[in-house]
């Protein structure tokens, strides 16, 4: 039977090994004549799998494997341009979503994630087989963890060498004797698997600690389904949602609480893995917190929220066990929560995975698994590990030393790690790649510290098609990261029908790429068949747990508040600079008087955008050079308090509350933070400056629109909005004072500027139709509650938010803050603009204006102080209570 | 020799520049019973008193006291007082112990329950790093077939003779490799170093935390490490169980060493470990240890 889709290109072996006879036979048989066939053949023109490896796409006869057929047929209908467009689209989305990763190494900066749109296809029966094998493996590892943290019978029976347990960096005495509800230590496990040339899957690594990459796997699925929508539909891909539902439900069951507070515990925000965690958090509806957000009282874990301390039921643990509790473990970081193990031991908090589960990662366990499986589960190990030799055993050690040149030698994560080299560098070497001295040194170390080494058979992993940047099919070495979650039924584990494939292509031309393979991440598609659906356990409860602000972490509230403030500060600065440019360059609008230069300079100095010395120098030079100075303020990236700096603050603060911001909002913030493009070799001119400021103001308007229209009116929004209003209050009061309180000069120019910066020029013109006068301008900007930018509106807004904020139960609404708001509101409501206009006879200043603006400033400070005291600061960070003296 | 009774008082006091709103302390301040030491009374007083307090036993069998003080405070005093009775330990014949390499071999897969409970002390631990450069310190002492405790005593003397006792040059986090390179430190460093040597060879050896009698018996010199917490080591053999060595004083502890607890190293038995929230500003810590003999009560007539 001839396959109509027979398409293997047989010219690939030119200059390499001779094509295998089977393929040669086929070459003569299958010369496609049908245009559809020849299109497919063309499609794979550049796909040249090397010999000696399993080919995921084509079988030994060069025929397309059945499970790839739907994808390939569907892609065949897609013109090359459409394919390139889809790839382009996926790359843009990676940038838009700001999907980054941080390569291993201490100081490396985060980079955009490398994504290959072409998915890896897994056959349905293969999925079932892997599901069986990995479930069994999880069950086995769970039993091993249970024994190490419990009776340690495996040691007594000689089934597990003590060195593997006690020499392991992840064996922590503090976890010994703790027991999770239901005996499940592993709720979420990751496995790296690869296929050997004989077609069998091997497990390369167990990843039980904090299985990273689940967020990326979700992102990969989102990209592949969005960028190839028709192909996705036609390929009938099994959905991954069920997996996350199962995981979520198992967590609900874990805490035994109907409305549990489940959180994702991560390390301090340092960029690494943050995308991963926040994406997962958003998807599961769990807030992402750090150790500093939590505290332990009465042997319970609490989240420090704006409503006080809220008891926590369950933590999805994404930090290493060793960093969980500085009170009981020797730690270098403060990522954890002092007292956490007390709560764990008291059974007051559940954790997934259970502290201490990492011991199952150890590659030295591999060679013991077949025996342990038979002993613990009474069955044969279904899915083998990659062949491993742990040097802690004399026979194995000698074998490794005899075969050093062909084996991959790995340093284990022991406590010693040959006297504490915790770097990931040279974690794995192949003997043949070492020069003679390095080889001798390695042999010496293996002999001195045999427990710390394991050797593995280097694998010729299978190849699967990938797309290069031109959208051509190329053969790439592919390994899979698969995930298994516990399901609610007693023994069952459930394999995610998806995951992350990692494809490595080597460009033989480039020595660099031989050393550092070009690795891409890709989605895994499992063909949807009925039995996949039935393999999924039945679920109870809602599909997605909704997040409510019931538990807004204090730190998050604090950051939301300042995000609002910085956004307002940036907008104000941009508007002011824009108005100043318009006032100092070109011809002012007809009949419009411009403000005095010294007044403009004073405003900039007050805002911290210009030093007073520089201001004096500029004033001497005149209007034109002023315009250029503003351009340099806008584009200067160094000067503190410049627009650029404020935007930097926005970026940093937004990063800390990322899981609370919608993707659209995030994209706008990214746009705002993009550096201004300054034409090379040219001083920024007023026109370019104006263009840049306009675009910044547009972006901020879009952000503001999104805040006003799209954000849920929950506590997070209230804090953000209050931050914005209080900042606006401060900026407006300062500007008003600066431009109107001084002795009279070109008053109209100042008033024009004031109206423009306050975005009230149109309102004023439609109402009064005349050149601005102090009294109506003051009324509009200070006391008009129909003007959303007026001072009065800000106070009313903050007061409204404040009353609805989640006040800690014990204290109720803070009286001091309430008094300050009331005081300021009445002062503005009872404002007499005529009186405000009165000038001091001697100095010519408007004293009432200065007095009012000073009051606004001081009341604003009181309000912020009280907000901080009530909502943000009620629980500080933990620290060592004093290092106990060294025994001498 | 007859039994000695001691009154041990170990006070720790913290004072802070501002209110501490939450203080959690994990204490290992209750002396253990051993083959020749028995605990007769023990109390731990906290001031202010704890809102949550619980005692437990850690993985190594030490008594732990966890306390959480949840009311604002600026001072915290922890006073642990105990009465212990120390009997003279048997004097083992060091040369009659197992050849060291046989013991190391047995410990790879111990068959007895005693061996199993000692095996966890054969490996590096959080404060015991074993650098490759440690080999010369042990190689010529641990020659094939030398009885393990005989070699261990020789190692104790070697550390005493070749390393300088000097306070202030190390802290609780100083790794063994640094002590090895600088050849100086205090009792904790010497204990860690000796443990590293023994475990490099695969021998079971643990860290002992405790005290020395403050005032020596008349005619005896005052020992290094009195008035403060002291540390030494213990080696396990199938014949004798655990036998102690004190590298700081080049001796085998007898009746002037009071055992508090043991673990793989300092990090397992740190007497007071605490975390606080608040308490910014000036921060003071004082520790006082007193181990005084209790005169024998007159026998009632």
pLDDT at B120: 94
Q: What is the pLDDT of residues A500-518, one digit of tens each?
A: 999 987 655 544 433 445 6
Rg of chain A, C-alpha, whole Å: 33
Residues in contact with A31: Cβ distance below 8 Å, sequence separation at least 6, in sequence order:
none
| pLDDT averaged per 10 residues in sequence order, chain A, 888 residues | 38 37 41 55 82 91 88 85 87 77 54 86 92 94 95 93 91 92 88 93 86 84 89 87 81 69 78 72 80 87 82 88 86 80 90 90 91 96 93 93 90 78 66 86 91 89 88 90 82 87 71 53 83 41 45 83 90 85 62 63 75 76 71 66 77 81 84 69 70 89 86 85 92 86 73 85 84 87 89 92 74 79 90 81 82 89 82 65 61
Distance CA A572, CA A565 (A): 11
In the block, which residue shows the tokens 């204090």? Answer: A554
Which residues contact residue B3 at a Cβ distance below 8 angstroms, ignoring those fewer than 6 apart? B85, B86, B87, B88
Contact partners, residue A482, CB within 8 Å, separation at least 6: A130, A134, A190, A191, A193, A495, A496, A499, A524
Site of tokens 């006068």? A773
Helices A663-673, A686-709: axis angle to 10 degrees equals 160
- Residue of A158, A338, A420 lying closest to B275 (CB–CB): A338
Instruction: Pull the structure tokens for residue A380.
Output: 């044969």
**What are the two backbone dihedrals, phi and then psi, of residue A429, each rounded to the nearest 5 degrees?**
-130, 155
Please say if the pLDDT value at position B179 is more than 90: yes
Distance of CA A508 to the CA centre of its chain: 34
User: Helices (DSSP H) in A463-553: which residue ranges?
Assistant: 511-515, 530-535
pLDDT of residue A851: 87
Question: Which one is predicted more confidently, A651 or B66?
Answer: B66
Closest C-alpha to A147, from A159, A137, A135 = A159
Are β-strands B73-86 and B37-47 bridged in parallel, bridged antiparallel, or unpaired? antiparallel
Please report the pLDDT score of residue A255 as a whole number: 64
Q: Where are the beta strands (DSSP E) in A509-588?
A: 518-526
Indicate yes or no: CB of A448 within 8 angstroms of CB of B278. no
Q: Taking Cα atoms as reference points, which of B140, B175, B176 lies closest to residue B158?
A: B140
Pick the residue from chain B with its C-alpha nearest to A331: B126
**What is the C-alpha separation between A203 and A207, in angstroms, rounded?**
11
The partner residue sitting opposite B228, judged by closest CB among A296, A339, A885, is A885
Q: Do A888 and B58 touch (CB under 8 A)?
A: no
Going by the DSSP 8-state scheme, the letter that residue B280 receives in this structure is -
Pairing of strands A878-880, A262-266: unpaired
| Cα dihedral B44/B48/B54/B57 (nearest 10) | -40
What distance, in Å, lies between the first and last C-alpha atoms of chain A? 84
Q: Do B171 and A886 touch (CB under 8 A)?
A: yes
How confident is the prediction for chain A on average, in pLDDT?
A: 80
DSSP assignment of A96-151 equals HTT-EE--SSSSPPPEEPPB--SPEEE-HHHHHHHHHHHHHHHHHHHHHHHHHTTT
Residue of A167, A176, A326 with shortest CB distance to B59: A176
Q: Are A650 and A566 in contact (CB under 8 A)?
A: yes
* Contact at CB, B120 and A162, closer than 8 angstroms: yes
Give the chain B residue nearest A337 (alpha carbons): B275
Q: What is the residue whose two structure tokens read 């503190």?
A: A640
The pLDDT value recorded for residue B234 is: 97
Count of CA atoms in the C-beta half-sphere (13 A) of A560: 25
Q: Residue A450: what pLDDT?
A: 93
- Quick check: B263 and B231 in contact, CB under 8 A? no
List the 439-458 stretch of A: residues with Cβ below 8 A of B.
Answer: 444-445, 448-449, 451
Do residues A377 and A138 lie in contact, with contact meaning Cβ atoms separated by under 8 Å? no
Residue A612, both tokens: 């007073």
Q: What SS3 class is residue B246?
A: strand
- Distance (Å, rounded) from C-alpha A785 to C-alpha A799? 14
Q: H helices of B53-162, where? A: 100-108, 113-118, 135-139, 148-162
B26-55 average pLDDT score: 93
CB pair distance less than 8 Å for B230 and A415: no
Dist CA B291 CA B246 (whole Å): 18
* B45 CA: distance to closest CA in chain A (Å): 17
pLDDT at B226: 63
Residue reference for tokens 């007895």: B112
Contact B110 A162 (CB under 8 A): yes
State the residue for tokens 């509350």.
A657
Write out residues 224-243 of A within 8 Å (CB-CB) of B.
Answer: none
CA distance A468 to A505: 9
Nearest to A884 among B68, B186, B272 (CB): B272
**DSSP character for A64?**
B
B225/A887 touch (CB, cutoff 8 Å), yes or no: yes
**Residues present in chain A in total:** 888
The C-alpha of B273 sits at a distance from chain A's nearest C-alpha, in angstroms, of 6
Distance between B295 CA and the closest CA of chain A, angstroms: 27
Strands B37-47 and B241-245, by their bridges, are unpaired
- Give me the pLDDT at residue A516, please: 44
Report yes or no: A705 at the B interface, CB cutoff 8 Å: no
**E strand segments, A124-246:** 188-195, 201-207
Q: How close A861 gets to chain B, by Cα (Å)?
A: 23
To the nearest whole Å, the CA of B137 is away from the closest chain A CA by 14
pLDDT digits (tens, 9 = 90+) for A442-498: 899 999 999 999 999 888 899 999 988 778 888 999 999 999 998 766 567 889 999
CB distance A314 to A290 below 8 Å = no
Q: Give which of B186, B273, B280 to mutate to test A binding, by max A Cβ within 10 Å.
A: B273
**Is the model more confident about B182 or about B218?**
B182
Number of residue pairs across A and B with CB atoms under 8 Å? 171
A350-352 and A463-467 as β-strands: parallel, antiparallel, unpaired? unpaired
Burial pattern A350-374, b for ≥16 Cβ within 10 A else e, equals bbbbbbbbbbbbbbbbbbbbeebbe
Which A-chain residues 171-210 have CB contacts (< 8 A) with chain B?
Answer: 173-174, 176-177
**A194-217 tens-digit pLDDT:** 999 999 999 998 888 766 788 888
Separation between Cα atoms, residue A194 and residue A130, nearest integer Å:
11
Residues 287-326 of A with CB under 8 A from B: 295-299, 326
- Distance from the B135 Cα atom to the nearest Cα atom in chain A, whole angstroms: 9
Is B266 close to A166, i.e. CB distance below 8 A? Answer: no
Query: Which two three-digit tokens encode residue A775?
Result: 């009294």
SS (H, E, C) A350-398: EEECCCCHHHHHCHHHHHHHHHHHHHHHCCCCCCCECCEEECCCHHHHH
Residues of A in contact with B271 (CB under 8 A): 884
Candidates A339, A875, A887: best to mutate against B (most CBs of B within 10 A) is: A887
Question: pTM (2 decimals)?
Answer: 0.79
* Lookup: tokens for A118: 């072409």
B110 and A885: CB-CB below 8 Å?
no
Six token digits for residue A614: 């520089």
Name every residue whose Cβ is closer than 8 Å to that of residue A169 and which is 6 or more positions away in sequence. Answer: A322, A413, A414, A415, A417
- Work out whether the CA dihedral A207, A208, A209, A213 comes out positive or negative: positive
What backbone torsions phi and psi does residue A56 show, to the nearest 5 degrees?
-70, -30
pLDDT at site B18: 82
Predicted local distance difference test score (pLDDT) of residue A176: 93
C-alpha distances in Å from residue A795, one per residue of A597, A722, A828, A863, B99: 31, 9, 9, 10, 84
Look at A155 and B271 and tell me if their CB atoms are within 8 Å: no
The side-by-side arrangement of strands in the sheet containing B257-263 is B241-245, B229-237, B205-212, B257-263
Q: Closest partner residue to A887 among B59, B124, B230, by Cβ?
A: B230
How far is B144 from chain A, CA to nearest CA, in Å? 17
Q: How large is the greatest C-alpha to C-alpha distance in chain B, in angstroms? A: 64
Distance, CA of A733 to CA of A686 (rounded, Å) = 28
**Distance, in angstroms, between A436 CA and closest chain B CA?**
19
> Would you call A886 an interface residue with chain B, using a CB distance cutoff of 8 Å?
yes
pLDDT at B164: 94
Three-state SS at A608 = coil
Q: Return the structure tokens found at B80.
A: 């642990």
Q: What is the pLDDT of residues B164-178, one digit of tens each?
A: 999 888 988 899 999
Of A161, A415, A883, the CB nearest to B108: A161
What ipTM is given for this predicted complex? 0.91
Q: What Å distances lie between residue B48 and A416, A724, B67, CA to CA?
A: 41, 44, 11
- Residue A82's CB: how many other CB atoms inside 10 A? 14
**Which of B20, B209, B274, B291 should we substitute to test contact with A (largest number of A Cβ atoms within 10 Å)?**
B274
Cβ contacts (< 8 Å) between B120 and chain A: which residues?
162, 166
């Amino acid at each position: 039977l001839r396959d109509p889709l027979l398409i293997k290109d047989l010219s690939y072996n030119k200059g390499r090994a001779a094509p295998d006879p089977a393929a040669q036979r086929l070459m003569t048989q299958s010369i496609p004549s049908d245009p559809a066939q020849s299109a497919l053949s063309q499609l794979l023109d550049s796909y040249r799998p090397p010999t000696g490896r399993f080919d995921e796409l084509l079988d030994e006869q060069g025929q397309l494997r059945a499970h790839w057929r739907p994808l390939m047929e569907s892609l065949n209908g897609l013109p090359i341009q459409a394919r390139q467009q889809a790839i382009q689209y996926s790359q843009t989305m990676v940038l838009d979503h700001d999907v980054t990763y941080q390569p291993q190494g201490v100081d490396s900066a985060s980079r955009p994630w490398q994504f290959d749109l072409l998915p890896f296809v897994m056959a349905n029966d293969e999925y079932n087989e892997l599901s069986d094998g990995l479930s069994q493996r999880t069950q086995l590892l769970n039993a091993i963890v249970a024994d190490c943290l419990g009776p340690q019978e495996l040691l007594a029976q000689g089934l597990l060498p003590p060195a593997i347990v006690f020499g392991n960096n992840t064996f922590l005495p503090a976890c010994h004797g703790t027991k999770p509800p239901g005996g499940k230590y592993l709720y979420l496990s990751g496995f790296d698997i690869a296929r050997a040339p004989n077609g069998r899957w091997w497990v390369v690594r167990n990843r039980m600690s904090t299985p990273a990459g689940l967020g990326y796997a979700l992102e990969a699925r989102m990209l592949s389904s969005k960028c190839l929508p028709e192909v996705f539909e036609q390929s009938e891909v099994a959905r991954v949602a069920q997996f996350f539902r199962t995981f979520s439900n198992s967590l609900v069951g874990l805490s035994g609480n109907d409305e549990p507070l489940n959180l994702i515990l991560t390390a301090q925000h340092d960029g690494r893995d943050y995308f991963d965690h926040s994406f997962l958090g958003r998807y599961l509806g769990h807030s992402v917190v750090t150790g500093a957000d939590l505290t332990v009282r009465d042997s319970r874990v609490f989240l420090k929220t704006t409503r006080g301390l809220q008891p926590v039921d369950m933590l999805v643990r994404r930090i290493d066990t060793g960093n969980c509790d500085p009170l009981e473990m020797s730690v270098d970081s403060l990522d954890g929560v002092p007292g956490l193990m007390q709560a764990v031991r008291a059974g007051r908090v559940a954790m997934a995975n259970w502290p201490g589960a990492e011991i199952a990662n150890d590659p030295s366990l591999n060679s013991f698994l077949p025996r342990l499986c038979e002993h613990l589960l009474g069955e044969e190990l279904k899915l083998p590990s990659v062949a491993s030799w742990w040097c802690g055993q004399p026979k194995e050690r000698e074998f490794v030393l005899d075969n050093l040149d062909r084996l991959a030698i790995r340093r284990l994560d022991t406590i010693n790690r040959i006297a504490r080299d915790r770097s990931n560098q040279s974690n794995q070497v192949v003997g043949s790649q070492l020069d003679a001295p390095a080889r001798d040194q390695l042999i010496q170390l293996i002999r001195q510290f045999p427990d710390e080494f394991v050797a593995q058979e280097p694998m010729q992993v299978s190849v699967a098609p990938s797309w290069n940047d031109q959208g051509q099919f190329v053969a790439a070495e592919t390994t899979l990261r698969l995930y298994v979650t516990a399901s609610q039924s007693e023994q069952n584990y459930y394999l995610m029908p998806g995951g992350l494939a990692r494809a490595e292509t080597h460009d033989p031309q480039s020595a660099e790429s031989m050393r550092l393979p070009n690795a891409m991440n890709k989605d895994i598609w499992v063909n949807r068949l009925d039995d996949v659906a039935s393999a999924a356990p039945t679920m109870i409860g809602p599909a997605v747990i909704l997040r409510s602000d019931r538990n807004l972490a204090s730190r998050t509230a604090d950051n939301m508040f300042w995000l609002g403030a910085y956004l307002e500060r940036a907008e104000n600065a941009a508007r002011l600079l824009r108005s100043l440019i318009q006032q100092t360059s070109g011809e002012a609008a007809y009949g419009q008087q411009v403000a005095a230069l010294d007044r403009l300079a004073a405003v900039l100095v007050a805002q911290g955008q210009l030093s007073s010395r520089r201001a004096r120098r500029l004033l001497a030079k005149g209007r034109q050079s002023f315009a250029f100075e503003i351009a340099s303020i806008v584009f200067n990236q160094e000067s503190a308090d410049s627009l650029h700096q404020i935007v930097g603050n926005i970026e940093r603060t937004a990063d800390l509350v990322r899981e609370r911001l919608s993707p659209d909002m995030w994209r706008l913030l990214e746009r705002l933070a993009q550096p201004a493009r300054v034409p090379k070799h040219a001083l920024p001119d007023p026109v370019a400056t104006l263009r840049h400021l306009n675009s910044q103001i547009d972006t901020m308007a879009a952000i503001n629109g999104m805040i006003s229209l799209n954000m849920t009116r929950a506590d997070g929004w209230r804090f953000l909005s209050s931050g914005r209003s209080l900042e606006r209050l401060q900026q407006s009061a300062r500007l008003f004072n600066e431009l109107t309180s001084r002795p009279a000069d070109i008053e109209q120019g100042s008033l024009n500027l004031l109206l423009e910066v306050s975005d009230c020029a149109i309102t004023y013109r439609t109402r009064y139709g005349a050149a601005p006068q102090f009294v109506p301008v003051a009324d509009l900007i200070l006391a008009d509650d129909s003007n959303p930018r007026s001072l009065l509106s800000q106070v009313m807004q903050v007061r409204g938010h404040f009353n609805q904020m989640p006040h800690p139960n014990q204290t109720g609404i803070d009286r001091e803050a309430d008094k300050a708001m009331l005081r300021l509101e009445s002062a503005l409501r009872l404002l007499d603009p005529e009186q405000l206009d009165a000038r001091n006879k001697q100095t010519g200043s408007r004293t009432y204006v200065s007095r009012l603006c000073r009051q606004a400033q001081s009341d604003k400070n009181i309000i912020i102080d009280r907000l901080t005291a009530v909502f943000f600061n009620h629980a500080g960070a933990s620290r060592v209570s004093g290092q106990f003296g060294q025994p001498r | 020799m007859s039994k000695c009774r001691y009154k041990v008082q170990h006070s720790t006091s913290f004072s802070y520049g501002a209110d501490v709103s939450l203080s959690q302390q994990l204490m290992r301040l209750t002396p253990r019973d051993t083959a020749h030491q028995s605990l007769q009374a023990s109390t731990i007083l906290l001031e202010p008193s704890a809102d949550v307090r619980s005692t437990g036993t850690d993985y190594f069998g030490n008594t732990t006291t966890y306390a959480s003080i949840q009311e604002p405070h600026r001072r915290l005093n922890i006073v642990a007082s105990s009465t212990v009775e120390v009997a003279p330990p048997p004097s083992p014949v060091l040369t009659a112990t197992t050849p060291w390499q046989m013991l190391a071999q047995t410990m790879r897969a111990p068959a007895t329950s005693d061996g199993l409970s000692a095996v966890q002390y054969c490996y590096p631990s959080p404060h015991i790093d074993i650098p490759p450069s440690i080999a010369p310190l042990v190689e010529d002492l641990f020659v094939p077939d030398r009885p393990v405790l005989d070699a261990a005593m020789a190692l104790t003397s070697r550390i005493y003779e070749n390393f300088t006792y000097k306070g202030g040059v190390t802290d609780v986090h100083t790794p063994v490799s640094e002590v090895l390179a600088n050849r100086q430190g205090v009792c904790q460093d010497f204990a860690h170093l000796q443990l590293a040597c023994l475990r490099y060879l695969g021998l079971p050896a643990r860290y002992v935390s405790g005290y020395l009698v403050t005032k020596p018996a008349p005619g005896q010199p005052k020992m290094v490490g009195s008035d403060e917490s002291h540390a030494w080591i213990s080696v396990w053999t199938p014949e004798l169980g655990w036998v102690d060595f004190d590298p700081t004083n080049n001796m085998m502890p007898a009746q002037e060493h009071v055992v508090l607890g043991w673990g793989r190293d300092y990090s397992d038995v740190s007497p007071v470990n605490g975390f606080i929230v608040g308490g910014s500003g000036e921060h003071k810590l004082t520790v006082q240890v007193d181990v005084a003999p209790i005169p024998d009560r007159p026998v009632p007539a």
